[in-house]
Amino acid sequence: MFPPTLIRSCLPVINPMLRRPPHCPFRQTSSLHSQTKTGNTSLQKTKWMNLRAIITRWVPLGSAMYLGWCYIRATINYEVSKVEIRFYEMFPFRVTSRWWGRLAACELPMSLRGIVYGIYVRLFNVNLSEAAVPDLSYYKSLSAFFTRSLRDGARFISPAPCVSPCDGIVLNCGPADTDKIEQVKGVTYSLEEFLGDNKWSKRKGDSYYDSLLTNKKNILHQCIIYLAPGDYHRFHSPCDWTATFRRHFSGKLLSVNPWMARLIPGLFTMNERAVYIGEWKHGFFSMTAVGATNVGSIEIYKDPQLQTNTKGGRNRIEESEIGQLKLKKGELFGQFNMGSTIILLFEAPRDFKFEFSAGDRVQVGQALTVAAKEQAR
């Protein structure tokens, strides 16, 4: 079809186009380097993205960043959103508090006690001179050190009718003459949600508030005291009164730091708490121990049946008639593991005035009112 002479003339041009490229030998070292690099990258991704890394690295880091941001906003009066509150409530504080309780109960070797407790003393400004046993090696565990007792004479119990039940900082105190009570200035909680249904009294009133009062000329007063980690963690009876009813709310274990109380309305109605209700010389009296993060245990000495931070739903409510439990002023009532909050709600005349105000530091046995203190003199 084509002349042979024409084909021969085109071969110099066609041959290079049809010629196969030279064979490139397999380079083992290059492939190994590539595989090693890919393997390291994959291993690095796995190291930072597996479940263990998320729990041990990202969750604590995210929690610390979020709590730090909450603290910054609290200093500039930032109003926290409902979404952020819901997100904060989702953290498994009940589980972590149980873990912390088990860890704190572990016995420490004698050689480590001075180091561990010494760091804690310096970090939280613990006054060891008030402890019944100032020798740090005496305490077998962190829990035993947290709940240490005071030496005799470390606290003076005022002859006033009502005294401070614990050491701590006053978050709020004053008259509580409505169903909405201030937990801190400008932030409230519901009285009915906090105490629950009035099943301990047959008195009826136009409102829940009125049903609590025995004398309609009186009003309710409140005192909220926050126990910091470095404070004395036992609490005492603030007056001579008779407790007849106990209600335990399982609730959450959110932090009750003063700056957190400013951010979350109704914080005390959310948290786990043991409410003891009875009467004193002016009528209605209640004393509530509120749990918090890492406070896995609230112990009441005369009520060993109370079990706090147990497994189960957060909305559980347990009620108990405890008979006529008579308590004397200054008598040991219970203890916290780590710091938390004591809330007093009681009936008294309208002219009942507190000696101290929000932000003041108080101690066990300190008189609540100026008038009572002057009478004692």
DSSP-assigned letter for residue 150: B
**What is the CA angle 248-294-75, rounded to 5?**
105
For residue 135, CA distances in Å to 97, 132, 139, 266 come to 27, 9, 8, 41
Burial-class residue 322 by CB neighbours within 10 Å (0-12, 13-18, 19+).
middle
DSSP-assigned letter for residue 130: G
Residues 46, 143: Cα–Cα separation, whole Å: 38
Residues 107, 115: Cα–Cα separation, whole Å: 14
Is 340 known to be catalytic?
A: yes
Is 23 known to be catalytic?
A: no
For residue 325, CA distances in Å to 96, 200, 201 come to 34, 14, 16
The one catalytic residue in 158, 221, 231, 236 is 236
The answer to whether 245 and 322 are in contact (CB under 8 A) is yes
Closest CA to 254 of 90, 80, 109: 90
> Two tokens at 36?
């090693």
**Token pair 């709020």 in the structure block, residue:** 172
DSSP letters for 205-241 = -SSHHHHH-SSTT-EEEEEEEE--TTS--EEE--SSE
The one catalytic residue in 158, 167, 250, 282 is 167
Cα 215 versus chain centre, distance: 36
> Two tokens at 210?
């009125």
Residues 231, 140: Cα–Cα separation, whole Å: 19
Is 141 known to be catalytic?
A: no
Mode of pairing for the β-strands spanning 273-280 and 187-190: unpaired
The answer to whether 253 and 321 are in contact (CB under 8 A) is no
Q: At what angle do helices 82-89 and 59-75 cross, to 10 degrees?
A: 140
**Token pair 């060891």 in the structure block, residue:** 128
Residues catalogued as catalytic: 167, 236, 340
